[in-house]
Amino acid sequence: MPPFHGMNHNNEIFKQMKKRNNIITYSATVIFLLAIILANKGCSPKFSLENKANFTLLRHENGPVIGYSSASGIEIMKIKRLAFKDLNRNGKLDPYEDWRKPAEERAKDLASQMTVEQIAGLMLYSGHQSLPAGGRGPFGGTYNGKPFAESGAKASDLSDQQKKFLTEDHLRHVLITSVESPAVAAEWNNNAQALVEAIPPGIPANNSSDPRHGSDTYAEYNAGAGGRISMWPGTLGIAASFDPSLMREFGKIAAEEYRALGIATALSPQIDLATEPRWSRFDGTMGEDPVLAANMARAYTDGFQTSSGKDEISGGWGYTSVNAMIKHWPGGGPEEGGRDGHFGYGAYAVYPGKNLKDHLKPFTEGALKLDGPTGMAAAVMPYYTISDRQDTLNEEQVGNAYNKYLITNLLRDTYHFDGVVCTDWGITKNVSNVYEFSGKPWGVEKLSEAERHYKAIMAGVDQFGGNNEKGPVLEAYNLGVAAFGEAAMRKRMEQSAVRLLKNIFRTGLFENPYLDPETSAKTVGNPEFMKAGFDAQLRSIVLLKNHENTLPLKKEMKIFVPQKFVPGGRNWFGVETEARWMDALKPDMASKYFTMCANPREADAAVVFIDSPKGGTGYSTDDFSKGGNGYVPITLQYGPYRADNARETSLAGGSPFENFTNRSYKGKSITATNLQDMKTVLETKAKMGTKPVIVVVRVSNPMVFSEIEKSATAIVIHMGVQDQAVLDILTGVAEPSALLPFQMPADMKTVEEQFEDVPRDMKCYTDSDGNTYDFAFGMNWKGVIMDERVRKYW
């Protein structure tokens, strides 16, 4: 245990006085010490000591828990019977070390003490870090120069790369991806916090995560049993409940699990308005209706950020709070043709309906206007895209994070946001063409990396996602000094530092960033959380068709389930996967509900599990190599599609890597890579004859149902749930209640003719029972749902 500054030494004083036999002095001293005792109401500290394996906790009677590592070498100051960390080792209590002061005051004091190099490190957000680090790929790492498997290191040890960016580059924001277990995550957190605590001024690591609560299709839910982490539908699935209180419950539970993993910032929610049905990130949104999306965004952010009771520090912030980084300003949904901004071919968001206002609503009327005491989201992430012709001040055609009008004039000045603005990952890195997964410097390709950092900082950005090195930020600082002088640029850097530090102070990390691995293991995925997640899955499943009340099925029925074909392909990182056939259901899971039949002739009904059409990315290097412009359609149907109704001339275009601006794909053709899913439905119908065929679709985007609907007696869709949840719906263990948070198009013609920026503007599919698959449509066992939710949002 470190020594306490300010500990009284009354016994020693008494001894010295007695030795001198100075009665007058001795009496005066007794009176003086009695006065001190009375003033302080006793000499004993107002906290207790608890030693853990690698850290120590000081528990105040009325105050925060102070956690520190003996390995860090910091001392504890005792002032008025309260404990404080001497994080900068100067022997006195600085305002930023005083947990009684407001976060704003503490942040300003610390920012003023930091060197430019330290502020530059604070402005970094690491690349993706798995625990332990993998040995290969873009996010790999080593341990004493060796891959993890050969190193003898523990899974909770810091990799060589992590040690470097935490010490040499002063990075304090770490993006955590996969973890071996909750206990390993907690131990890694403690190792990282001890390392940075030892480096004055002792700024803790603010670890973060992308969404990590998705459902494992094959996983089994057992009431009363725990899991690795609670499993929920994606946010689009929760939005299908049309119940913001469910989204808030998810946020609250997810925040508790995040904090138990050492995560204090969520790189979420994704609140882009999903007005372009072909966009590959559609299923990460909260749907296409601006009012529903705003309500869901507000609930999610309130759930994540709000602490209450003993967990609250001030203003709703506290020890169970997780900073929400809402994304992607000013809305990443209206991608032309559905092409995504991770690539140069998807660099442009377009507004043919002149409808930026709806895309702002999930931000300005949702996550930036909370019901809870934290007021607004802690951070905002702009998207990669160039918001085509939306800069009405400077008319710049640059990526959103480089656009001063969008960041400073609109977000900060108009909507009064003074939190952190963090770029999306890799926007300052270089790229050499429009189709590789690399840097994303759209509109500023010809600038150097340092110039890109400088432009973003001057646009109002505080932090750079995916950048582990402080060098480019320091170069940007020097560019600013040359332009405006050192005082002005120092002031601008401190402004960002204050914003970043507030998010660390408000979540209590400066007082105690340490975790008990056993407690983490018991918290993450505990039975209560697992049940809440499973119940939410049931509430996210939409019944679209139930001809002649085919559902629910009786348990023990003889059921035929055809195998599922998984097409091969290549992911964004270039990793190839082979095509394969697989069981659509785990046999042991299926047997708990049905008698499984390998021969469809012997079955009473068939259940076919498929995915919505996988319609491509909108770009083809094959087309380009054959003399085309490279741009091809994205399809929402399975079968061959020819884009005869596409635009003759694209709304936006232009790249240093292309010698043309027209990105039209009119007249070109494409077929979904999972065409076999459609064939499986049709083949199963042929085998079953007049017997029921139930189709279960895992939906990532809206889809054209005309190819399969007539072959299906019943249709159930979901946005990512466990198979067990689907089976509970199919067999009547639970009744479907969810509604479509988006439209299902009648055909690809209406998809081509709809405006990328306008919600609910497609002609919707009407099935053979006469039901139209429009926004807010859904069925239960009684028929079409017409309840208060439908009336509110329709």
> Token digits for 707?
């190819």
Contacts of 615 (CB under 8 A, 6+ apart): 278, 633, 634, 635, 636, 637, 670, 672, 701
Task: Quote the CA–CA distance of 419 and 498 in Å, as a whole number.
Answer: 9
Task: Quote the CA–CA distance of 275 and 280 in Å, as a whole number.
Answer: 12
Which of helix, strand or coil describes residue 76?
Answer: strand
> Token digits for 330?
């000013």
The catalytic position among 289, 516, 728, 757 is 289
Task: Quote the CA–CA distance of 509 and 48 in Å, as a whole number.
Answer: 19
> Token digits for 454?
């400088």
3-state SS track over 264-292: EEECCCECCCCCCCCCCCHHHCCCCCHHH
DSSP 314: E
Which of helix, strand or coil describes residue 435?
Answer: coil
Residue appearing with tokens 């002149």: 354
Contacts of 637 (CB under 8 A, 6+ apart): 613, 615, 672, 703, 704, 706, 707, 747, 748
- Closest C-alpha among 293, 415, 417 to residue 362: 293
Task: Quote the CA–CA distance of 561 and 380 in Å, as a whole number.
Answer: 45
The catalytic position among 424, 677, 723, 767 is 424
> Token digits for 165?
């960016």
> Token digits for 503?
């998010």
> Token digits for 464?
């750079």
Task: Quote the CA–CA distance of 329 and 68 in Å, as a whole number.
Answer: 38
How many C-beta atoms surround the C-beta of residue 274 within 10 A? 29
289 a catalytic residue? yes
The answer to whether 169 touches 468, Cβ cutoff 8 Å, is: yes
CA 506 to chain centre: 20
644 a catalytic residue? no
Beta bridge partners of 380: 326, 421
How many C-beta atoms surround the C-beta of residue 401 within 10 A? 32
> Token digits for 32?
């003086």
The answer to whether 18 touches 26, Cβ cutoff 8 Å, is: yes
- H or E element, residue 420: strand 420-421
Q: How would you label 99-120 residue by residue, b for 16+ Cβ within 10 Å and e otherwise?
A: beeebeebbbbbbeebebebbb
The answer to whether 612 touches 703, Cβ cutoff 8 Å, is: yes
Which of helix, strand or coil describes residue 396?
Answer: coil
For residue 500, report the phi and psi dihedrals to the nearest 5 degrees: -70, -40
The answer to whether 299 touches 552, Cβ cutoff 8 Å, is: no
Task: Quote the CA–CA distance of 755 and 359 in Å, as a whole number.
Answer: 13
Q: Which residues are known to be catalytic?
A: 289, 424
